[in-house]
Amino acid sequence: MAGIYIHIPFCASRCSYCDFYSTLQLHEAGAPYVEALLAEAGLRCGELRGEPVVTLYMGGGTPSQLQLPLLSRLIRGLREVIDLSHVEEFTIEANPDDVTPHWCETIKSLGINRVSMGVQSFEDDILKMIGRRHDALQVIDAVKCLQDYGIDNISIDLIYGLPGQTVESWTRSVEQAIALRPRHLSAYGLTYEEGTRLWHQRERGEVVEVPEDQCLMMYSILVDRLFSAGYEHYEISNFAMPGYHSRHNSSYWQDIPYLGLGAAAHSYDGRVRRSNPCDLRRYMSTVMAGKTACEVEQLTQWERYDERVMLGLRTSRGVDAERLREDFGDEAWRHFIREAQRHIDAGNLSRIGEKQYVLTSKGIMLSDSVMRDLMWEE
Ligand code: SF4
C-alpha cells in the first residue's frame, strides 16, 4: 500500500513562526500550478509500482485557499491518472476562516473525508500576535459547519510555548479543543526557525521565549487532559480517539512508501528520498516540459536504520528489535539492544513482549537524547 501527498504552496498571509514553503501568489499561479501537479502525477505515477493508494493528503501552505473549481479540477484530474478507488483516508488541511457551507459541501462531494485544521491556540491576542487570520470563535464555527455536513473526522493542530502563553492559558486552550471533540489532535512545541518574523522579533527582544520547564509542563498537561478525555497518545505529538489515528502520517512513521507531488514535496519509496524544489516557477516549468523536478537522495543503510529507530520511538508501537535485526543485521541489532538496556535501566524505555521497545512517559520528556543514543550516527 502507498500514500500520496500533495503540496499546495499558497497562503493568504504569512504566520510569524512559519518556515514552510509557501507563497502569496495564488491568484496568478493557482491554475497553472494545478496543471503542473497533474502533469507531475502523470510523469511519476509509475513510482507507486502498482501499490494501492490508501491515503491521500493535501497539505500546505493552505489547501483551503485553492479556489473550489481548481480543487475539483485537481482531484478529478488525479483520478484520471492514478487509481484512487482504494483511498480510505483523504485529508485536506484548512484554515478555520476558509471553512464555509459551500466549501464543506464541495469537499464532501469530492470524496474528502478528513479535515486537519490549523488552530494553534484559542487565545485571540496570541493568534493576532502570531499573524493567524482567524479567532477562536471562527474555529468553533468551522468545526460546527464541518460536522453539519457530516465531516466528523476533524483534526486540530495546536502549538504550545507561544510567546505570551502561560500554563493557565494553555490549559484553557486544551480544554476548549477537547470540548469540540475533534477525532484527532496534534500539538507541537514552538520552535523559533531562523529567518522567520518571530525569530527576528526574539532577536530584537520584542518577544520573550517561554522557559523550557514551562513548556514541559504544558506538554504534560496536554498529555494528561487528553488521556482523561479518552484520547490515545499514539505518537509524541499526536493524539486520537480510538480508531482515528492518522493513517497517512502513520505511514511516514512505519516506513510505508509515499509519493509527494508539488513544489517542496518529498517522496520516499523505502530506500530513496526524492524532494521537489522549493521554487514554484522552477517546479512548474520543469514538469510542464515533461521532466521530473526532484532531487534524489539514496539513503545509506545506517541512515535508514536511524530513521527507523527515530520514527519508531516517536510512536506508541515503538521499535521492533527483531525486524531491525532482519533488515539491518546483527551489528545494528547489538548496538540497539545494548543502548536500549541502558535506557530501560534508567526508566526511559520499556519493553513490550520480547522485541518491542517503547518510550516511557519519562523517556518521552527526554526523547531527543534517548533517540541520539540508540541511533547509529550522531
Ligand atoms: S502556518 Fe500555515 S497558514 Fe501560516 S504561513 Fe505557514 S503554511 Fe501558511
CATH class of this structure's domain 301-374: mainly alpha
**11 Cβ inside 6 Å of ligand 1:** yes
Specify the pLDDT at position 254: 82
Specify the pLDDT at position 347: 96
What single-letter amino acid sits at 348? N
Q: What is the pLDDT of residues 108-126, one digit of tens each?
A: 999 999 999 999 999 999 9
Give the confidence band of 377 by pLDDT, cuts at 50, 70, 90.
confident
**116 Cβ inside 6 Å of ligand 1:** no
**15 Cβ inside 6 Å of ligand 1:** yes
- Compute the residue count for the chain: 378
Specify the pLDDT at position 378: 55
**60 Cβ inside 6 Å of ligand 1:** yes
Query: What is the distance between the alpha carbons of residues 362 and 344, in angstroms, rounded to a whole number?
Result: 11
DSSP string, 250-303: HHHHTT--EEEESTT-EEE-SSEEEE--S-HHHHHHHHHTT----EEEEPPHHH
The residue-averaged pLDDT of 74-82 equals: 97
3-state secondary structure of 67: coil
- pLDDT higher than 60, residue 226: yes
Q: What is the pLDDT of residues 293-303, one digit of tens each?
A: 999 999 899 99
Q: What is the pLDDT of residues 344-374, one digit of tens each?
A: 999 999 999 888 999 999 999 999 999 999 9
Q: Of ligand 1's atoms, which has the minimum distance to the CA of residue 13? A: 5
Specify the pLDDT at position 22: 87
Give the confidence band of 255 by pLDDT, cuts at 50, 70, 90.
confident
Count Cβ atoms within 10 A of the Cβ of residue 137 and give its class: 0-12 exposed, 13-18 middle, 19 or more buried: exposed
**What average pLDDT does the chain have?**
95
Specify the pLDDT at position 49: 87
Q: Are 115 and 107 in contact (CB under 8 A)?
A: yes
Element (H, E) at 334: helix 321-345
3-state secondary structure of 53: strand
Percent of the chain topping pLDDT 90: 91
Among 253, 258, 14, 227, CA closest to 118: 14
Q: What is the pLDDT of residues 259-280, one digit of tens each?
A: 999 999 999 988 889 999 999 9
Residues 6+ away with beta carbon under 8 Å from 110: 71, 72, 75, 76
Q: Of ligand 1's atoms, which has the minimum distance to the CA of residue 60? A: 7
Q: Where are the domains of the chain?
A: 2-252, 301-374
| Distance (Å) from CA 184 to ligand 1 centroid | 20
Count Cβ atoms within 10 A of the Cβ of residue 167 and give its class: 0-12 exposed, 13-18 middle, 19 or more buried: middle
Percent of the chain topping pLDDT 70: 100
CATH class of this structure's domain 2-252: alpha beta
Among 2, 4, 1, CA closest to 265: 4
Which three cell numbers mark 303?
541512515
